[in-house]
Chains A and B, each alone.
Chain A
Amino acid sequence: ETGVTQSPTHLIKTRGQQVTLRCSSQSGHNTVSWYQQALGQGPQFIFQYYREEENGRGNFPPRFSGLQFPNYSSELNVNALELDDSALYLCASSQDRASKNIQYFGAGTRLSVL
Chain B
Amino acid sequence: DQQVKQNSPSLSVQEGRISILNCDYTNSMFDYFLWYKKYPAEGPTFLISISSIKDKNEDGRFTVFLNKSAKHLSLHIVPSQPGDSAVYFCAASVQGAQKLVFGQGTRLTINP
Contacts and interface: CB of A to CB of B under 8 A. Distances in A.
A33 B99 contact: yes
A108 B43 contact: yes
Given A99-B94, A105-B43, A107-B41, 6 more contacts: A43-B89, A45-B100, A90-B43, A99-B95, A99-B96, A105-B44
Contacts of A44: 102
Contact of B103 (A42, A99, A106): A42
Contact of B98 (A56, A104, A107): A56
A40 B104 CA distance: 7
Contacts of A41: 104-105
Interface residues of B, number: 29
Interface in A87-102: 90, 92, 97, 99-100, 102
A4 B41 CA distance: 14
Given A102-B46, A105-B44, A107-B41, A42 B95 contact: no
B90 to A, nearest CB: 9
30 contacts: A35-B102, A40-B104, A40-B105, A41-B105, A42-B6, A42-B91, A42-B102, A42-B103, A42-B104, A43-B44, A43-B89, A45-B98, A45-B99, A48-B98, A48-B99, A55-B98, A56-B98, A58-B99, A90-B44, A99-B97, A99-B98, A100-B32, A100-B51, A100-B95, A102-B49, A104-B46, A105-B36, A105-B44, A107-B43, A108-B43
A40 B41 CA distance: 14
